[in-house]
Amino acid sequence: MADAALGILLQTLQQLLNDKIKPIFGVEEQVGFLYDELSLLKAFLKESAEKRSESDIFKELVRQIRDVVYEAEVVIDRYVSHIHMERARSYISKFLQGIDHPTKRRKVAEEIESIRKNVDEIYRKKSFGFEVMQHGEPSSRDSSEKKAPVVEEENVVGFDEEAKTLVDRLKGGKEELEVISVTGMGGLGKTTLARKVFTDPAIEYNFYIRAWTYVSQEYTRKEVFLSILSSLDKLTDESSRWSGERLAEELRGHLQTGRYLIVMDDVWTKEAWDDLKMAFPKNNNGSRILLTSRNNEVAVHANPDSHHHPLRFLTDDEGWELLKKKVFRKERCPSELEDLGKKIAEECGGLPLAIVVIAGLLIKKEKTSKWWEKVAESVSSYVARDPKQCMDILALSYKHLPHQLQSCFRYFGVFPEDYEIPVCILIQLWIAEGLIEQVGEISLEDTAEDRLEDLVDRNLVMVEKRRSNGGIKTCRVHDMLHDLCLKEAKEEQFLQVIKGAIQGPCLSLTPTLNKCRLLCIHSHVLDYISVKPSAPRVRSFLCFALEQIEFSREHTSFIHEAFNLLRVLDLRPIRLPFFPGKIKDLIHLRYVALCGSFEVLPASISELCNLHTIIIETSSHNLKVEADIWKMLQLRHLCTNSSSRLCGPSAQAGRGGKDLQTISTISPDSCTEDILARVPNLKKLGIRGKLATLMKEKGGSTLFDNLTKLDRLVTLKLLNDTFPDRPSKCSLPQLYKFPPNLKELTLADTLLDWEHMSTLGLLPKLEVLKLKDNAFQGNRWKAIDGGFRLLRFLQIGKTDLVHWEASGQHFPRLQQLILKYCESLEAVPSGLGDVSSLRIIDLYHASSTAAASAKKILKQKRDLAISQFKLTIYPPDQ
């Protein structure tokens, strides 16, 4: 994190030096010298990152640089905050307190001079660091080329027979509720095996009600039950406010309705099982619970009458097969690498996690005998069957990461164990923390996405869900790799995680908290707040508690009082009673995420000129944005869940808006020419409200016409929200009025006629089309020739469609078709079976005839030996 902090600090110093108002009058010379000297340190860090060394000299140099950067950062940012407060005071207050300003300048000048001396001392020592690193191994070069995502099948080498055994046990046996457990050490593949079983077609057919939840070491009953209800798609707006007991009662009610399978992954203790089993009814219909644990005692305790399934280590041959699949995928392994590869796999001790992580190290380097020999020698010093020594193998891959990837990987430690991480949030946090630097003309978001794909390729991060366009939607890290992130972050002295009960009132005085820069709370939020913490050096405060917490008025001021230099603030699990006005004084904020019943985004937010990301989750149906976003030159993402009304730029408006990439969601009447003309680089736009306003012609044009100029817009959502009235029928603009580079379109409650699909089909770059509930109406859709040439993903929600006529030539590149609640549809067009690219059809609550027609397509694919095709029908035939 030191290099990220240094990058942000240099930006701040540059802004101070360039400010026309001269806020650093009297200390310009000292600030200028400090800027030059810190720039030299940044060059040293960048140069040294290209070398690999474990020398104590190098570690000490980096530690000293880190300490001096953090000290300088606090001094400068406190002074900037002081300047901000001075500017905000009235003229009389300035006059009365003006005598303090020279004192402040003198003090900051002395502090800067002290820091400069420390920098000079470090710089005199830096040559020693170069000497010990000059023979180090260069890291892999970072590529600025944007790559398409690689979507791989889950690796299940050696699990086929084990999966078959588990499937048979889950389907067979007695009618009583039974717990079946898979046990083994961390990294052995318990989750992978459970996932393979969970998605087995026979299991999907046998268990209509299926859910998956991660329990982990630190959990709450409420979190687990919310997770299961979410997996069953049974969460409501009120669910997060219920107690664990109320959630258990709700869950029991849903599970009583049919045969269910619940996977409880990573249960650590007997007490955890006893705490959670209350939610699972014994309905004597063949329901099952599949439990994974590292502890055999947990398995025996959960079901004393049945033997658990101990997961074995891979054989040497299986280990080599897995390594080959991960490194070479479908290519052949060169003969000169086979013996070395077998040795590497053997030294991993049959532990799948160790093998795939080492494979990630091998795949990112040139496949030469010299490099493989070096890896084999390193791995051979460990025996992977011991958890501590396995951690050493994982650390080996971490140490060979390029420097910028190390920082990104360590950041996963801020999230709770087994947490499903939304990638859009992860990327915005990386950018706000300064972990992503500009690479040529590539956007910061694209660079961050490449970093994540790189970590996935190296098997250090697991893809949980993919977006409809193939990108990563959510991800997670294995809990052993999570431990590695925490270990490395601890060595950097930048992360403090609160995930248990608060011990005593003196937490805020601990040396660890006084030094930490990034503070995360995973549970016991109110307990922590009640001790009135103080951590002036904390730059990021994040809350990831799954249960939603109601804050009283007296708690809302704690953030400003305890952490006045914050750059990142995420309080979404905390429901605030009102918008906290003091946030405007946190002038260093780059990322803020809040939850409440807000109806207004106040004008004072405009003063936060460093903000990159604003995320507002509100229960209010509409949000009035009084903040002047045109003053906010750094703003990149304005994310709201309600219909937000923007103010147009005034005559004195700033130059903000050109870097905005996301606006979601705004009201139709905000789509004016003067607003959309200010956001030429917008990539994602959501419009929610009465879409008739958007389409209404006035003076020969409509508000929708203004979208035509958004040349970089790739994602558009049109949500016809007429609450409290019923949705009214919409019209569709002419083809030429749509943004020219649109790739993804979502429609909801528009009640369009199916004839309008001919317009959508001609959108030249459309790849993803999501027709949510009531997007179209009418009983017949006849596809026309020449449309949907690039469409890969099609989703149709609730509709009264009965007859759908289409052939393979109408959707030549379709890969995935999802039909939800199309209960009147008589059949899925048989011609879709001719689409060679089609791999997935999912039917949710379809008619029996539609299900039968989809099964014919499945048979057609099997007759053509297309094994990758998958058909899912919910509920399955009874």
User: pLDDT tens for residues 365-385?
Assistant: 888 899 999 888 888 776 666
| Residue 185 pLDDT > 90 | no
Rounded Cα distance between 618 and 720, Å, is 19
Give pLDDT, residue 383: 63
| CA separation for the pair 337, 315 (Å, rounded) | 19
Strand partners, 870: 840
Would you state the pLDDT for residue 49?
57
Non-local CB neighbours of 332 within 8 Å, separated by 6+ positions: none
3-state DSSP assignment of residue 663 = strand
| pLDDT more than 70, % of the chain | 89
Q: Quick check: is 232 in a domain? A: yes
For residue 283, which amino acid is it? N
Rounded to 5 degrees, φ, ψ at 671 are: -85, 50
The proportion of the chain whose per-residue pLDDT surpasses 90, expressed as a percent, equals: 49
pLDDT tens-digit series, residues 806-861: 999 999 999 999 999 999 999 999 999 999 999 999 999 999 999 999 999 999 98
In this model, does residue 152 exceed pLDDT 60? no
Separation of CA 374 from chain center: 34
Q: Is 834 left (phi over 0), alpha (psi -120 to 50) or beta?
A: alpha
Cβ neighbourhood burial of 374 (10 Å; 0-12, 13-18, 19+): middle
CATH of the domain at 165: 3.40.50.300
Split into its structural domains, the chain has a count of: 3
Q: Is 839 helix (H, G, I), strand (E, B) or coil?
A: coil
Is 860 in the same domain as 807? yes
Q: Which helix (H) or strand (E) holds 496?
A: strand 495-498
Position 663 pLDDT exceeds 90: yes
**Is 713 contained in some domain?**
no
Structure tokens at 815: 């890969």
Enumerate the H helices of 348-386 as residue ranges: 352-363, 369-379
19/116 same-domain check? yes
Q: Same domain, yes or no, for 129 and 172?
A: no
Amino acid at position 560, single letter: H
Average pLDDT of the chain? 85
Q: Do residue 238 and residue 293 come from a single domain?
A: yes
Q: Give 866's contacts (C-beta < 8 A, 6+ positions apart).
A: none
Q: In the block, which residue shows the tokens 């770059």?
A: 765
User: Strand pairing of 472-476 and 421-422?
Assistant: antiparallel
Would you say the C-alpha torsion 727, 731, 733, 735 has a positive or negative sign?
positive
Domain annotation covers residue 411? no
Count CA atoms closer than 13 A to 810's CA, side-chain side. Answer: 19
Q: Is position 437 within any domain? A: no
Tokens of 854: 């989809």
How far is residue 696's CA from residue 225's CA, in Å, rounded to a whole number? 46
Count of all residues that appear for the chain in the document:
878
CA–CA dist 452, 824 (Å, integer): 42
Q: Are residues 118 and 252 in the same domain?
A: no
Pair 306, 169 in one domain: yes
Pairwise CA distance, residues 151 & 471, whole Å: 9
Residue 569 DSSP symbol: E
Tell me if 347 is assigned to some domain: no
Of 310, 330, 354, the domain-final residue: 310
The DSSP code for 414 is G
Domain that residue 243 falls in: 160-310
Q: Is 493 helix (H, G, I), strand (E, B) or coil?
A: coil
Query: Do the domain assignments include residue 177?
Result: yes
Residues 203 and 294 in one domain: yes
Return d(Cα 76, Cα 78) in angstroms, integer.
5
Q: Is the pLDDT of residue 876 over 70?
A: yes
- In 294-375, the DSSP E strands lie at 309-310
pTM equals 0.84
When pLDDT is averaged across residues 665-684 and rounded to a whole number, the result is: 95
Residues 128 and 180 in one domain: no
Cα–Cα dist 181/298, whole Å: 9
Say which amino acid occupies 238: E
Specify if 250 maps to a domain.
yes
Examine the domain organization and report whether 12 and 124 are in the same domain.
yes
Higher pLDDT, 57 or 806: 806
User: Could you tell me the pLDDT band of residue 91, with boundaries at 50, 70 and 90?
Assistant: very low
Q: What is the reported pLDDT for 570?
A: 95
Residue 477, phi-psi category: left (phi > 0), alpha (psi -120 to 50), beta (remainder): beta
pLDDT number for residue 644: 96
Q: pLDDT tens-digit profile of 691-746? A: 999 999 888 899 999 999 999 999 999 999 998 899 889 999 999 999 999 999 99
Q: Does residue 138 have a pLDDT over 50?
A: no
Same domain, 129 and 187: no
Band of residue 151 on the pLDDT scale cut at 50, 70, 90: very low
pLDDT at 142: 44
Average pLDDT over residues 547-572: 81
CA–chain centroid gap for 398, Å, is 21
Q: Are residues 198 and 59 in the same domain?
A: no
Kindly report, residue by residue over 273-303, the tens digit of the pLDDT.
999 999 999 988 999 999 999 888 999 999 9
Mark whether 75 and 201 lie in a shared domain. Answer: no
User: Within a domain: residue 595?
Assistant: no
